[in-house]
Amino acid sequence: MAEQWRDIAARKQAERQSRIPKTWLLLSSIKLEQDNVQHIPRECGIFTPAEIRITEQYDATALVDALAKGTLTSEAVTTAFCKRAAIAQQLTNCLTEIVFEDAIARAKALDEDFKRTGKPKGPLHGLPISLKDTFKIKGYDASIAIAALCFKPSTSNSALVDLLLDLGAVLYCKTNIPQTMMALDSHNNVFGRVRNPSHSGLTPGGSSGGEGALVSMRGSPLGIGTDVGGSIRIPALCNGLYGVKPSHGRVPYAGQEGGLAPGSSKLGIEATAGPIAHSMRDCEMLLAAIGASRPWVFDPDVVPQSWEQQASIHTILPAPGNRLKPALRIGIVSTDGICSPLPPIQRIILEVATSLRSHSTHNLTPIQVVELDLSPFLSQCLKVSNGIFSLDGNNQWFDLLEPTGEPLSPWLQSRLKRRPGKSVAEICKLQAQKLELQTQALKLWKDFDVLICPAAPHPIPPIDRWNSVNYTSAFNLLDLPAGVMPVRKVTSADLEVELEGGKELNGWDKINRELWGAKERKVYDGTMLSVQVVAPRLEERRLVESMAIIGEVLKLRGVGGRQQSKL
């Protein structure tokens, strides 16, 4: 019994492998030890030209349009992405549950319905969507990579799963995560480690790391992750993608498997679900489709406010006699005061701020950019977040691991220990501190529409080397919607900049500075640099529209901004 987890893991991996059709298996002659495996799908000989075109030349928004017009069938699109996900799994170990057979059957039924009625089922008609393993799909495990939870199929769907099915989506796979979902890499004992498809030596991020790797490999046109400390934004950053963490109460979250006691989230920091995608418009498309579908009837925590009812940057009316709209006011936050950003992060924040300031008007919308020092405030956020993340002393996780003899992942072994749970008085004190910080944050929005800041103090780091999470977790504590967007790649000029002298701020800062050693920094060459954008609570529409404007300006200024996928 002491090693029972090994047998469970072996059986679970065999089950996963058995669900991949043999004709979709890569030849053993293909070298999988390459640093970058992005090119293998189009060279492996498994795909038809049409399947390569479907998976590489469309983003999710273009696919939805083609499916609604009938120029593509859901069966063809779903089959192409099932194939691509199977290849991505073999190359990056990104999947947990494989739902290909059910997905293709649903796609065929949607096509038949479209032929009969001439109408799409909903705004996501026929679109394949991948999900993080925490989501429950009836008949499949939601093991969250814990041996004790394997081979216990869900008896009902998560709220968002039911909603996505109502909207016409096709759900075809679930994706890999780190053990306990408390790591920012993605390794567990049941399914193994997710690899970054662009560089095997770098982390794919966590905890939605499998989702990031799958979307990056074009194995999914649109993925949905969850985020309680950065778990959507960090994989998006690590894989050069767009990712949006909504406020809690915007997207249905009920019915997830989180490994903790039911109801415990109400005492802590509420997790949220959101998109990881190839384009900003895909993130907006998903959130708008969810918002227009009365999501509050699926989850009692969701605010009864449609996407159209949210304030829009684009619908602010010009002042009388003035053809210009009120300005988009952007605050630039360069550091959290705990970990000083390394040179490439400093440079990309400065470049973005300079570009926005220089391009002072976009489509008749003035842009105002102001530097903002939030270091003392964000330092307080870290202390409160750390206290709330360990309310039960991690006892629930150890209670799940010990019956099968499952050990902690190596990265967690020195970080996660059983401790006494906090008392009611201690929990109340932490919640009072959280509420006070959220109240203080309200003052920001008197002067700013959005903030731009780093999502990490370092570029995409080597495996298990992610440092401070405060650049993302602070906005979970404050319950502010936040998104990550890719800007440009690290250049040789970035790598030539040395650290400024001076004493490390603390232990976290010391570890961060070690990531800029002469040996370490070489690995960053050519990797993507991203920035984070933050908006007021429950103003996701303001967030994604602002991110779109920022992306357009950066593209016009020649700094970055990813062009939307199109035919």
**DSSP state, residue 348:** H
**Backbone CA torsion sign across 190, 407, 199, 341:** positive
Among the options 74, 154, 186, 207, which is catalytic? 207
Assign 534 to helix, strand or coil: strand
Taking alpha carbons only, the member of 455, 479, 459 closest to residue 469 is 455
Residues 6+ apart with CB under 8 A from 129: 164, 169, 170, 171, 172, 220, 221, 222, 223, 224
Amino acid at the residue 281: R
In whole angstroms, give the CA distance from residue 467 to residue 184. 9
In whole angstroms, give the CA distance from residue 458 to residue 119. 48
Measure CA 1 to chain center: 36
Among the options 143, 154, 186, 231, which is catalytic? 231
Q: Catalytic site residue 132? A: yes
Give Cα separations from 253 to 77, 249, 535 (angstroms).
27, 8, 20
Continuous H helices in 402-491: 410-413, 424-441, 470-477
307 with 287: CB under 8 angstroms? yes
What residues does 533 pair with on adjacent strands? 452, 483
78 with 128: CB under 8 angstroms? yes
In whole angstroms, give the CA distance from residue 250 to residue 447. 24
Measure CA 93 to chain center: 17
The token pair at 349 is 């924040």
In whole angstroms, give the CA distance from residue 316 to residue 339. 37
Q: Catalytic site residue 207? A: yes
Count of alpha carbons within 13 angstroms of residue 315, beta-carbon side: 7
Amino acid at the residue 17: Q
Task: Write the DSSP string, 363-427.
Answer: TTEEEEEEE---HHHHHHHHHHHHHHHTTTTTHHHHHHHGGGTPPPPHHHHTT----PPPPHHHH
Task: Write the DSSP string, 146-199.
Answer: -GGGTT---SS--HHHHHHHHTT-EEEEEE---GGG-SSS-EETTTEE---TT-
Among the options 12, 132, 245, 422, which is catalytic? 132
What residues does 529 pair with on adjacent strands? 488
| CA end-to-end distance (rounded Å), the chain | 55
List active site positions: 132, 207, 231
